[in-house]
């Protein structure tokens, strides 16, 4: 998916977090967004996903202007680095376990426990949640 940001800006109160940011990421291109804490990295990702609205500028995904579209209309997924998984675990874990064909006894045990998933299992759940 190609991504293009054109003069994107976002402020919270009097604090400008993203200032006239432009960038282009082509299909299949690897892109890394680096910066100090509070520099606007997460805000840029939230803007691309449609979870926040830019104060100015445009967002293009696959050559289509999606700036004014709702998140569900953009055709992309988003997974936070610091995931709040436990709130959604009960809703997500059961379908994943059922899909993997685990026995009912194992499923009940897993669903009853909140902290037994490894980091890799959390990542699998988050990827499926993003899809």
What is the model's pTM? Answer: 0.63
Tell me the C-alpha distance between 116 and 98, whole Å: 17
Rounded to the nearest angstrom, the gap between the alpha carbon of residue 116 and the centroid of all alpha carbons in its chain is 24
Residue among 85, 91, 75, 87 nearest 131 (CA): 75
Residue among 77, 74, 61 nearest 131 (CA): 77
Share of the chain above pLDDT 90, in %: 42
Which pLDDT belongs to residue 105? 56
Q: Band of the pLDDT at 73, cuts 50, 70, 90?
A: very high
- Name the helix (H) or strand (E) containing 103: none
Q: Give the full edge-to-edge strand order of the sheet including 64-65.
A: 15-25, 3-12, 56-61, 64-65
pLDDT at 49 over 70: yes
Average pLDDT over residues 79-103: 53
**Which residues fall within 8 angstroms of residue 122, CB to CB, at 6 or more apart?**
83, 85
């Amino acid at each position: 998916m190609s991504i293009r940001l054109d003069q994107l800006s976002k402020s919270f109160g009097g604090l400008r977090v993203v200032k006239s940011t432009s960038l282009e990421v082509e299909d299949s291109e690897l892109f890394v967004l680096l910066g100090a804490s509070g520099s606007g990295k997460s805000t840029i990702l939230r803007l691309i996903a449609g979870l926040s609205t830019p104060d100015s500028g445009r967002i293009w995904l696959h050559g289509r202007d999606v700036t004014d579209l709702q998140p569900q209309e953009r055709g992309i997924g988003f997974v936070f680095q610091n995931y709040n998984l436990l709130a959604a675990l009960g809703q997500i874990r059961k379908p994943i376990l059922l899909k993997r064909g685990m026995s009912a006894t194992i499923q009940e045990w897993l669903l009853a426990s909140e902290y037994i998933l490894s980091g890799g299992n959390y990542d699998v759940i988050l990827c499926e949640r993003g899809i």
